[in-house]
Amino acid sequence: MARVLVVDDAAFMRMLLKKILTQGGHQVVGEAGNGKEAVQRYQELSPDVVTMDIVMPEMDGISAVQEIKKLDPNAKIIMITAVGQEGKVMEALKAGASGYIVKPFQAPKVLEEINRVLSS
């Protein structure tokens, strides 16, 4: 079971991810609505893994990955991206993200990626 921080500016997306993760046996320890909040919550909660939206207000997902990686070089972060954002995904992976999931996603794909990242 992993302790997960879910980061997305859309509340329904956070809710959907929470449901998938909880049903998959993981514990959602916190949520954040933007990258700035994500960095603060990461420091407070020290989650095992973070699901991170790329496009968000205040601080985008890529900047948040860079900030979190400065705090914890071993942080495991999975980017959540819309179809057609491959360039941003590559940028995020260069910044230190561990993997990515493309929206619209299916529950098995989300859990598979979480488990892959946790075991790497």
> What are the residue ranges spanned by the domains of the chain?
3-119
Tell me, what's the pLDDT at 83?
Answer: 80
95-118 mean pLDDT = 95
CATH fold label, 3-119:
Rossmann fold (3.40.50)
Tell me, what's the pLDDT at 57?
Answer: 92
Helix and strand numbers, DSSP H then E, in the chain: 5, 5
Q: How confident is the model at residue 49 (pLDDT cuts 50, 70, 90)?
A: very high
Long-range contact list for 32-36, CB < 8 A, 24+ apart? 32/5, 32/6, 32/7, 33/7, 33/8, 33/9, 34/7, 34/9, 34/58, 34/59, 35/7, 35/59, 35/60, 35/61, 35/63, 35/64, 35/67, 36/64
Q: How confident is the model at residue 38 (pLDDT cuts 50, 70, 90)?
A: very high
Q: 90 Cβ partners below 8 Å, 6+ apart?
A: none
pLDDT (tens digit, 9 = 90+) per residue, 19-35?
999 999 999 999 999 99
Overall pTM surpassing 0.85 (yes/no): yes
